[in-house]
């Protein structure tokens, strides 16, 4: 079997290729247009056409299955008409992506689809069928594997024990539309995408049988679903076996065409096989940044967050930074961006993130964190830094929406200190809690007095102006504070402790309000 143009777009990523017109025809080989030696037009050829003027584009369509032009060249009406007339797919290559790179990547995808000649009339499966047969024996249930579009990839024996819906899916190589709609409406796919735990799925119709289901993932990317017909939920042992089977299937799928560029990005982010992943992705730069974006909205489902964050982020970067690559891991959209110099890296990434939030942030709440890597070996560390910054942004509503570690150092230190104190079951002993309790009981303003005094470094006049009181009144309050708590304004340690308590208190109140 050979991939279609749509399969190439799905595998290589929409940040690299964009479908303008699709025709569903298989792609068997790749050719690069050379005006000195025009290639012979053949069906099944993906023609890459660098540097072709708009007026010359329609002539290249005749005879080929698909043609790729540079995205910076506008698509003409003549080109669209010619594409429809000759049933040729038209794709656009993102600005900044090298033609040799897309040629190599497309050939690699085609090779992956054609490695098993026995799949000429069906989806490439490798050892998937034998794996699912073994799974059916272990689970004592017929098993079927579908991709994220509910196309059937492989199935086990014993399907005569399943229901008519499963048999129809296998014969059509696609789950029935009504079944997909029913499961979607019930939130089944959202549940599976949000967890690695197998789930029991009630029958979708009166004729159907219940089944167990689990997501199949590789490198954080959702590859598909495993379904096992079962009259009742699996016990703990069979659930554990089902989850392990999903991981084994995911390893097989990594070598199949459903493996995505996102898997390579995930490998880089986790520090696995970085040289190979970077070479395939075409990433070679002295500096890189990791961008992590997440929704702050409550209760968003995994699939919803992915659609709301990753898709627009990938599109935005494909326009503004074509060398960037993206993936989605554990509810967070990540992007890896190469930069020519460290000086450009942080400022450039933050500028792109701020522009992204301006464009798509209307009606949605996002935060974006940035980590810096000075080599491929530091990418996983940069991801950890971005994750740390993201956590601080989510825990502290008053922090900026786009930040690197330097922007949230104070909030991070306060957050970690509060975490340590909570874990130890302790709290700082000082004047702040005493004054807060006194103010509440006696209706005084001693805590704001202490806060103003520290904020203005002991300048009584400016501190009194903030509270709209006479300096003498302010001094009297300071004396009262000393009487109640023993706080001495001349003691630097006492001032530091009081300032720390005030900041922890403000941070806690801000988080509670957020």
- pLDDT of 258: 35
Per-residue pLDDT at 169 exceeds 90: no
Which of 148, 151, 149 shows the shortest CA–CA distance to 171?
151
Domain end (from 66, 91, 114): 114
- pLDDT of 120: 35
Q: Are 268 and 401 members of one domain?
A: yes
- Contact predicate 262/327, CB 8 Å: yes
Q: Are 136 and 39 members of one domain?
A: no
- pLDDT of 304: 44
> Is residue 476 a part of any domain in this protein?
yes
Domain end (from 114, 145, 176): 114
pLDDT digits (tens, 9 = 90+) for 264-283: 788 889 887 787 778 777 78
Average the pLDDT over 103-127 and give the result. 55
130 or 324, which is more confident: 324
Per-residue pLDDT at 465 exceeds 70: yes
Domain end (from 80, 114, 148): 114
Per-residue buried b or exposed e for 456-479, using 16+ beta carbons within 10 Å of the residue's own CB: eeeebeebbeebebeeeebeebbe
> Is residue 426 a part of any domain in this protein?
no
> Is residue 458 a part of any domain in this protein?
yes
Average the pLDDT over 141-150 and give the result. 86
DSSP letter assigned to residue 222: E
- pLDDT of 365: 77
What is the number of residues in the chain? 514
Q: Are 138 and 107 members of one domain?
A: no
- pLDDT of 349: 93
Per-residue pLDDT at 26 exceeds 80: yes
Range of the domain at 93: 5-114
* Confidence category of residue 179, pLDDT binned at 50, 70, 90: confident
Comparing 304-313, 408-417, 421-430, 448-457, the range with the smallest average pLDDT is 304-313
In the chain, how many domains are there?
4
Q: Are 290 and 381 members of one domain?
A: yes
pLDDT digits (tens, 9 = 90+) for 199-237: 999 988 888 889 999 999 876 678 889 999 999 999 998
- pLDDT of 511: 56
Q: Are 242 and 286 members of one domain?
A: no
> Is residue 80 a part of any domain in this protein?
yes
* Confidence category of residue 257, pLDDT binned at 50, 70, 90: very low
Q: CA torsion angle for 474, 475, 481, 483 (degrees, to 10)? A: -150
- Contact predicate 389/404, CB 8 Å: yes
CATH of the domain at 509: 1.10.10.2840
Q: Are 92 and 161 members of one domain?
A: no
Q: Are 186 and 291 members of one domain?
A: no
Question: At what angle are helices 431-442 and 492-513 packed, to 10 degrees?
Answer: 60
Q: Are 160 and 73 members of one domain?
A: no
pLDDT digits (tens, 9 = 90+) for 34-57: 776 665 666 788 889 888 888 888
311 or 365, which is more confident: 365
CATH of the domain at 34: 3.40.1390.20
Per-residue pLDDT at 347 exceeds 80: yes
Q: Are 77 and 179 members of one domain?
A: no
CATH of the domain at 337: 3.30.70.270
Q: Which helix (H) or strand (E) holds 473?
A: helix 471-485
- Contact predicate 27/51, CB 8 Å: no
> Is residue 39 a part of any domain in this protein?
yes
- Contact predicate 377/269, CB 8 Å: no
Query: What is the C-alpha to C-alpha distance for residues 271 and 274, in angstroms, rounded to an integer?
Result: 6
Average the pLDDT over 252-266 and give the result. 62
Q: Are 189 and 244 members of one domain?
A: yes
- pLDDT of 363: 45
* Confidence category of residue 386, pLDDT binned at 50, 70, 90: very high
pLDDT cut 90: percent of the chain above it: 15
Q: Are 190 and 293 members of one domain?
A: no
Q: Are 72 and 154 members of one domain?
A: no
Report, in angstroms and rounded to the nearest whole number, the Rg of the chain calculated over CA atoms.
Answer: 30
- pLDDT of 301: 46
CATH of the domain at 243: 3.30.450.40
> Is residue 120 a part of any domain in this protein?
no
Q: Which helix (H) or strand (E) holds 328?
A: strand 325-329
DSSP string for 71-123: TTSPPPHHHHHHHHHHT-EEEEEPTT--HHHHHHHHHHHHHHHTS-GGGTTS-
> Is residue 121 a part of any domain in this protein?
no
Comparing 61-75, 221-235, 328-342, 499-513, the range with the smallest average pLDDT is 499-513
> Is residue 424 a part of any domain in this protein?
no
């Amino acid at each position: 079997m050979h991939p279609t143009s749509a399969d190439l777009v799905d595998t290589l990523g929409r940040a690299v290729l964009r479908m303008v017109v699709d025709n569903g025809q298989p792609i068997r080989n790749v050719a690069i247009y050379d005006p000195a030696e025009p290639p012979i037009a053949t069906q099944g050829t993906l023609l890459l056409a660098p540097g072709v003027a708009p007026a010359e584009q329609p002539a290249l369509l005749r005879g080929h299955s698909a043609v790729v032009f540079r995205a910076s060249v506008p698509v003409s009406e003549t080109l669209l008409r010619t594409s429809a007339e000759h049933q040729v797919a038209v794709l656009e290559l993102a600005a900044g992506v090298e033609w040799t790179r897309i040629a190599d990547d497309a050939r690699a995808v085609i090779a992956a689809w054609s490695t098993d000649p026995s799949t000429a009339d069906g989806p490439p499966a490798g050892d998937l069928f034998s794996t699912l047969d073994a799974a059916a024996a272990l689970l004592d249930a017929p098993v079927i594997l579908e991709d994220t579009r509910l196309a059937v990839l492989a199935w086990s024996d014993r399907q005569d024990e399943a229901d008519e819906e499963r048999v129809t899916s296998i014969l059509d190589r696609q789950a029935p539309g009504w079944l997909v709609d029913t499961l979607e409406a019930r939130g089944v796919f959202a549940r599976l995408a949000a967890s690695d735990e197998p789930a029991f799925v009630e029958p979708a119709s009166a004729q159907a049988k219940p089944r167990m289901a689990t997501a199949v993932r590789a490198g954080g990317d959702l590859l598909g679903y495993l379904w096992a017909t079962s009259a009742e939920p699996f016990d703990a042992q069979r659930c554990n076996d089902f989850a392990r089977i999903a991981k084994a299937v995911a390893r097989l799928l990594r070598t199949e065409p459903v493996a995505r560029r996102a898997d390579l990005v995930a490998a880089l982010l986790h520090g696995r096989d970085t040289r190979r992943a970077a070479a395939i992705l075409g990433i070679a730069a002295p500096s890189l940044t990791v961008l992590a974006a997440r929704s702050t909205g409550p209760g968003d489902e995994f699939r919803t967050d992915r659609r709301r964050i990753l898709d627009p982020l990938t599109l935005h970067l494909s326009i503004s930074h074509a060398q960037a690559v993206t993936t989605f891991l554990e509810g967070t959209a990540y992007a890896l961006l190469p930069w020519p110099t460290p000086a450009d890296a942080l400022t450039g990434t933050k500028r792109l993130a701020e522009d992204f939030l301006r464009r798509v942030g209307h009606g949605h709440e996002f935060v974006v964190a940035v980590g810096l890597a000075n080599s491929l070996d530091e990418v996983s560390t940069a991801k950890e830094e971005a994750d740390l910054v993201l956590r601080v942004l989510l825990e502290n509503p008053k922090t900026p929406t786009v930040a690197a570690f330097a922007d949230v150092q104070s909030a991070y230190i306060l957050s970690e200190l509060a975490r340590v104190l909570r874990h130890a079951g302790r709290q700082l002993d000082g004047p702040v809690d005493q004054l807060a309790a006194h103010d509440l009981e006696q209706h005084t303003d001693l805590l704001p007095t202490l806060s103003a005094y520290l904020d203005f470094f002991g300048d009584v006049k400016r501190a009194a102006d903030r509270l709209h009181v006479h300096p003498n009144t302010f001094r009297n309050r300071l004396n009262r504070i000393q009487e109640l708590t023993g706080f001495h304004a001349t003691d630097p340690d006492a001032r530091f402790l009081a300032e720390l308590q005030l900041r922890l208190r403000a941070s806690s109140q801000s988080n509670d309000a957020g």
